[in-house]
Chains A and B, each alone.
Chain A
Amino acid sequence: DVKVTQSSRYLVKRTGEKVFLECVQDMDHENMFWYRQDPGLGLRLIYFSYDVKMKEKGDIPEGYSVSREKKERFSLILESASTNQTSMYLCASTPWRATNEKLFFGSGTQLSVL
């Protein structure tokens, strides 16, 4: 069965901390995505990657960076966490040349920044 695994289900951090959210997929997918989901705003794309060491900005990249050193792993980095980054973070993947019909999502990380 396909699997996208996010390392933490819940995370509590302090303002100014550096935060790493990890995502691993076991489907050999080329494309990986990071979304954040907020009540009333829906899912918004932060960054995506279509290959190892490649990254593209989504709609709301400010305050975030990403790392894709290996095909199966896509990390989201908050260099200096702020309270407005409190959110549900969802990682997703699709195979190369897919038109995103079947995004496979991880279970999400609920991040609270205090």
Chain B
Amino acid sequence: EDKVVQSPLSLVVHEGDTVTLNCSYEVTNFRSLLWYKQEKKAPTFLFMLTSSGIEKKSGRLSSILDKKELFSILNITATQTGDSAIYLCAAPGAGSYQLTFGKGTKLSVIP
């Protein structure tokens, strides 16, 4: 059975802090790992990672994949209150259409 595990499940930081969110996976026929951000409404796509060691970056957010150790991290630098959200990690499993999601990390950034 495919598995995606995120840690921590929740995190409270102050504005300006740097945070690291973790995602480990056990997926048959691994193809990619995805990160989504969910505020009050629909999850929105952040990154897709397919290759080890290649950092993906978007502003203050960055992510990297380690296919040997089967994990990914999402870094957020200089956090802002607008970064408060649930961050979801997911991976396509053996079936082409099915994404397996982790339980999410709830990040709260306080002023």
Identify which of residues 18-73 in chain A touch chain B, using a CB-to-CB cut-off of 8 Å.
31, 33, 40-45, 48, 50, 56, 58-59
Give how many A-B residue pairs fall within 8 Å (CB-CB): 54
Whether, in the assembled complex, A101 has its beta carbon less than 8 Å from a beta carbon of chain B, the answer is yes
Query: How many residues of A are in contact with the other chain, CB < 8 A?
Result: 24
Contacts of A111 in B (CB 8 A): none
Per-residue contact bits, chain B 82-102, to A (CB 8 Å; 1 contact, 0 not) = 000000101010001111011
Query: How many residues of B are in contact with the other chain, CB < 8 A?
Result: 22
A105 touches B42 (CB 8 A): yes
A97 and chain B: residue at smallest CB distance: B96
Q: How many whole Å from B83's CB to the nearest CB in chain A?
A: 19
Say which residue of A31, A43, A108 sits within 8 Å of B88 (CB atoms): A43
A42 touches B104 (CB 8 A): yes
B99 touches A107 (CB 8 A): no
Cα A58 to Cα B43 in complex, Å, equals: 19
Query: Residues of A with Cβ closer than 8 Å to B?
Result: 4, 31, 33, 40-45, 48, 50, 56, 58-59, 90, 99-103, 105-108
Question: Could you jot down 26 A-B contacts, CB within 8 Å?
Answer: A40-B9, A41-B103, A42-B101, A42-B103, A43-B43, A43-B88, A43-B90, A44-B101, A48-B97, A56-B97, A58-B98, A59-B98, A99-B92, A100-B34, A100-B92, A100-B96, A100-B98, A101-B32, A101-B45, A102-B45, A102-B48, A103-B43, A105-B42, A105-B43, A107-B41, A107-B42
